[in-house]
Chains A and B, each alone.
Chain A
Amino acid sequence: MDATKVAAALKGAQWLMNWTAARHPDFAARLASRDKIVQLRVRDARGPARHYFFGKSRVRSASGLHAKPDVTLTFRDAAVAWSIFRPGAKRLDAVNHAKNFNVEVSGDDELACWFTETISVMRAVGWKIGTPAGNGETRYVNGTNSGPVFVYVKDGRIVRVTPIDFDADDPQPWRIEARGRVLSPPRRTTTTSHTLASKSMVYSKDRLLYPMRRVDFDPNGERNPQNRGKSGYVRISWDEALDLVAGEIQRVKREHGHGAILNSHGSHHTWGNIGCYVSAFNRFMNAIGYTKMVINPDSWEGWYWGAVHHYGYNMRLGAIEPYGHVEDCLKEAELIVFWSSDPESTGGSYGAFEGTQRRLFARDIGIEMVHIDPSLNYTASLLGGKWIPIVPGTDPALAHAIAYVWMTEGLYDKEYVATRTTGFAEYEAYVLGTEDGVAKSPEWQAAETGVPAATVRALARRWGTRKTYLAVGGKGTTFGGACRTATGTQWARAMVCLMAMQGLGKPGINFGNLQYGAPVDLNFYFPGYGEGGISGDVETTGAVIQQYQRQPQLPSMNIVTQRVTRNRIPEALLDGKTEGYPIDPKSPYGQFMRFGYPSPGHSRVRMLYKYGGSHFGTVQESHRLADAYRTNDLEFVVNQSIWLEGEANFADVLLPACTNFERWDIGEWTVAGGYSHHNNCQLNYRVISIQHPCIEPLGESRSDYQIFLALMHRLGLGTYYSEGQTELDWCRAQFDASDLPKRMSWEKFLEKGYYVVPPEDWSVSPQPVALRWFAEGRAKDMPEPHPLPAGYPGRFREDLQTQSGKIEFAPTSLARFDDPGRPPVNRYIPSWEGRQTTELFARYPLQLLTPHPRYSFHTHADGKGTFINDIEDHRVLVDGYYYLAARIHPDDAAPRGIGKHDLVRLYNDRGSVICAAIITRRLVPGAVQCYTSSAVYDPVGDPAARIDRGGCVNTLAPTRWQTEKTSASAPNSCLIEVEKWTGAAAPRHDAAAAARTSEVTA
């Protein structure tokens, strides 16, 4: 019976293809594009079989076996074949058959994929995408790092990019009533300058449009690694480029062994669950085997390496659960203390300005605000309130003094401390000075922080007598700023201790800055990119939580255990030896597991596969990278990039990728998954979007997925990698693996482009507030799978993930782990690079702060001729060149003869960066501030001279870890000097001294 149906289906396939080709010339052209014979058969030679002749605009076929097909797909028997061909066939059946070798491919790997993709394309020809928008324009939908957008296209070119205006079919917004007023968000998405600059990124002068080879790189002869970063490129064909890269992958593995290939990527990529590095790139790298670059939690640092020991939350890298904050804060709180928290610059993460109206509302209903920051940041200048300028890196001293006032004046929650915490007596002994003879009083801290003692007392009394939200970092619960200094772990730890003294979790008392905890529906599931996308990787992504069951696919797994921590890639390449501590969020102890490089028996790294954003602009003392790129030991470098910028200039072969506007993808706004579970609770509306290919890829650029697939074909892994699917099929797989099919058909979703999840109806039962359960000593009622079941020391859901289950003032985990920088009681240890390091401070008397950028998303939208270059607060045009803006206080500028827009050299022993000066009183004197994440690395002369005019200010920052036994970076502890730059005089920088002045943890 099955045999008859299969035979009919095979015959019907020919008819369907030709019927489609008759109506769709593009499809007819596709049929004509391969002059090949494809055969489908069952194992039994007597069973149904058919072979198809491609090469013309119509396909011919014949029953039975062909003598010399180019590729054959063999099904175990007719039953297997029918289960795959039948109408309504389940993807899971096909995957299971593949896993059990019931389906096999022999012959041309690329052709096999082309054939199955052709069947997919045929199914999709009738699907409509986009909406007519008048004036000859079509409106498509896409996703970016700060939200979904409408993309208007005319004649194959992007006209404009706008936020999404909701239509009558989209749900109404949530409402919160507080103090007699109603807050309800406008019916559209918010957006940012860098998203609005998307068109200028697509049509950038620096787009890589063709594959290129370094002009003096010969894989069969002289490779000239010493010239990386200097010599130019010659255009080559895709075939040459792909053959070269695939050949090098195999050569390096054969000559040196598994693990000789290192990956490297930015922490973010263009938006979308298919194109994200966790997805297509991960699947590709797993398929070839590689030494994994370990990312440090560089936006969380102090929280991950410090705070988790006091209260758990390791699964969120040190941030608390972010639920219910908006309503609780607006209804209950009397004061918000923003401490190193500037959500108006970085919008949570990916969250645009979704929290802005909430914060303005909070101010307007009378919630007081205080801002502790070395700069009057944009949140402070918008909202007003008391600005407490502080000397960078001294924040924990201020925190201890606040605790001192509370202890001496009885302004803390004694009952909470007694019942919900442990170790308070030890902390109290330290703060009061009964232990070491030094009272950590407001007067004690003044010399460190520059904050007058009277101000500290006023703050402590205000805070100690009012229900207060403590906003830490950009997210309000973590992220950036003070957690990225030498004292970052101390600061984060101190913040937990302060909130523990005030009754963390009680009404109006919590962490948060109104960016997170909006009343959206969080029970509706759509996967975040951190859940692995198409990777099939359950080891290193969040796929294990839901996707491995929801999205049938072949698994992938890296066979190499060797690792290199991101900030130590230069040492790995240059010295062949380094070490690191990992992100392992399962428990507070995972981070203690030191790993060395090289791993026992493993090869050193000989080849680098670089993907996405440049590390020159993000990793500390990144001039090291230029040295590392030019070592003979690094035999081959391929860089897959959209733009020729940053690290791309150091590659041997360049593979041009297209942007997310030129290919298919799918994703939900802000949804990262993994460490940032429910990152969408910062949104006014959850918006899930398909990402239409709005325009054709520019030049010869291709989607990342297509580049990986082409390489996989050369390794015979194409059918494994793609499972015979198109990128659109993978988007459909993500759609099907979510709750979306219950709400909207695939065809409607494709056409409209987005779905808005209606808000939860909290009138049924009030929205639970973060940590209220803990404050009230009952079972946890948060919609997060954290801690893991074993993480509870007592009964399930009734504890924090500490040993005691309570907040620990003197954590047991640190007590058993000997790290001098992290004693169990959080003692103030002055920064190892700051005003207290007198010898260095005498030479370099200014503190460089490099916050997350406001107008670019890391390297995205920076440089490359985008509109963002025209924003003076970001870059300044001087003599025809866009220099990064360096903000400096007039008291520091005047004695150095520096005026507005003067070119200045920021320098220390690690190097020099040429910037343009902005004179501002928004800074504490003695601090210089530049946005980090320059996309441009532009050495003046040879990179060895260590002068950059591109704006990679992090080249000046130390590589030293915050504490000895962490991999916690400290870019905001950086001493420099600034001088006017004429370009004529030789810089005073001494390259020899630069070699290793910053202490690298041995």
Chain B
Amino acid sequence: MTQQWALFVDVAKCHNCRNCFVACKDEHVDNDYPGYAAPQPRHGHAWIDIRTRERGTAPMVDVAHLPVMCNHCADAPCMKAAPDAVSRRPDGIVIIDPVKAKGRRDLVDACPYGAIHWNEEREIPQTWIFDAHLLDRGWKEPRCVAVCPTGALTASKIDDAEFARKCADEGYAPLHPEYGTKPRVVYRNLHRFEKCFVGGTLVATRNGVVDCVAGARIELRQGGVSAGVAESDAFGEFKIDALAPDSGTYDLHITAQGMRPLQRTVTVAESVYLGTVELTAP
């Protein structure tokens, strides 16, 4: 089968160092690659766009960063919108021809991911080209991968079957699969960006001193079905993750050795840190 490029993004490993973003600017600002891409404007464009999501409140906050770039879709809406100007190479890389696409501002709106950027000065739509011009010269991987310090970005040239297997085995999935564009850029740990958690800090008073309660069992149920189980850590903290936003009301059951069981109702609009929850002895 044909081998095509794919980019794998681990959301949990992206820490917004911006190396990929700046490397992309370095590669394209003031540089013209005829047939691949015209120069990127010095400012304003984010062909690799890092989006940020914060969840929770202090002391239980986490932050996720989501790099969004051209998905090099197998079924690319931009290609459908402009078959004369956009093409997909045998290696899977989608190229918006910088000459033929002149004036095609509609392509910016054609991309449901917001990954196509309008170059005002040149009047062309532009996007991240997977460094096709470098791969064609023998480079082994795109620059964003080479500069990623955490390993959040990895690239492979693989066939569809291996792509599907890797996605299934390692938990990668496209952004918004409902768009149906068959992206070749896939993500894991997306719950850090898209989903919610319920967390809290368990304490109890023993001998007149407030202490954290470790080892408690916390379960979240909705409609009698378990939505997640956690155990409190040394700081009394627990977190049940990957809940859908605006998913309504849950029952929280807390059981700890030597403590009265505690039940609470939690409504999940976005992530919820319950603060300090005091357990009492029977």
The interface of chain A, by Cβ under 8 A from chain B, is 134-135, 157, 159-163, 165, 188, 190-193, 196-200, 203, 344, 352-353, 356-357, 360, 376, 378, 381-382, 384, 386-389, 452-455, 457-459, 461-462, 854-855, 865, 867-871, 873, 877, 920-925
Contacts and interface: CB of A to CB of B under 8 A. Distances in A.
Contacts of A877: 43-44
Contact of A200 (B25, B62, B147, B203): B25
Interface in B185-219: 203, 209-212, 214
11 contacts: A188-B146, A193-B21, A353-B149, A357-B150, A386-B59, A387-B61, A454-B210, A870-B44, A871-B21, A877-B43, A921-B56
A600 to B, nearest CB: 52
Contacts of A190: 147, 149
Given A157-B30, A382-B150, A455-B235, 17 more contacts: A162-B143, A190-B147, A190-B149, A193-B19, A196-B22, A199-B30, A353-B150, A357-B151, A382-B15, A389-B59, A454-B210, A454-B236, A457-B212, A458-B234, A870-B21, A921-B56, A921-B57
Contacts of B237: 386
B59 A387 contact: yes
A366 B77 CA distance: 44
Contacts of B15: 344, 378, 381-382
Contacts of B13: 360, 382
A922 B63 contact: yes
Nearest to B25: A867
A598 to B, nearest CB: 47
A870 B25 contact: yes
A574 B277 CA distance: 58
B39 to A, nearest CB: 12
Given A200-B25, A200-B29, A867-B29, A381 B58 contact: no
A352 B61 contact: no
B44 A352 contact: no
Contacts of A197: 22, 25-26
Contacts of A868: 22
Contacts of A925: 58
B17 to A, nearest CB: 6
A462 B234 contact: yes
Given A193-B22, A867-B26, A389 B276 contact: no
A867 to B, nearest CB: 4
Contacts of A921: 54, 56-58, 61
Given A160-B27, A193-B21, A381-B63, A458 B54 contact: no
Closest 9 CB pairs of A and B: A353-B149, A382-B15, A196-B22, A458-B212, A381-B63, A193-B18, A867-B25, A193-B22, A356-B149
B42 A191 contact: no
Given A190-B149, A384-B62, A459-B235, A454 B18 contact: no
B76 interface: no
Nearest to A379: B15
A865 B41 CA distance: 12
Interface of B: 13, 15-19, 21-23, 25-27, 29-31, 42-44, 46, 54, 56-63, 137-138, 143, 146-147, 149-151, 203, 209-212, 214, 233-237, 276
A873 B17 CA distance: 10
A924 B59 CA distance: 8
Contacts of B146: 162-163, 165, 188
B62 A381 contact: yes
Given A162-B143, A389-B59, A870-B43, A922 B22 contact: no
A349 B43 CA distance: 29
Task: Name which of B44, B209, B214 has the most chain A CB atoms within 10 A of its CB.
Answer: B209
Contacts of B209: 453, 457
A387 B58 contact: yes
B143 A454 contact: no
Contacts of B31: 159-160
A157 B26 CA distance: 13
A458 B232 CA distance: 12
A871 B203 contact: no
Nearest to B212: A458
A160 B25 CA distance: 9
Contacts of A453: 209-210
B149 to A, nearest CB: 3
A360 B150 contact: yes
B63 A376 contact: yes
Contacts of A165: 146
Contact of A134 (B54, B137, B149, B234): B137
Contacts of A923: 58
Contacts of A357: 149-151
B54 to A, nearest CB: 5
A407 B26 CA distance: 56
A389 B58 contact: yes
Nearest to B276: A452
Given A193-B21, A378-B16, A455-B235, A163 B147 contact: yes
A870 B46 contact: yes
Given A160-B27, A196-B19, A922-B63, A191 B147 contact: yes
Task: Name which of B19, B26, B30, B43 has the most chain A CB atoms within 10 A of its CB.
Answer: B26
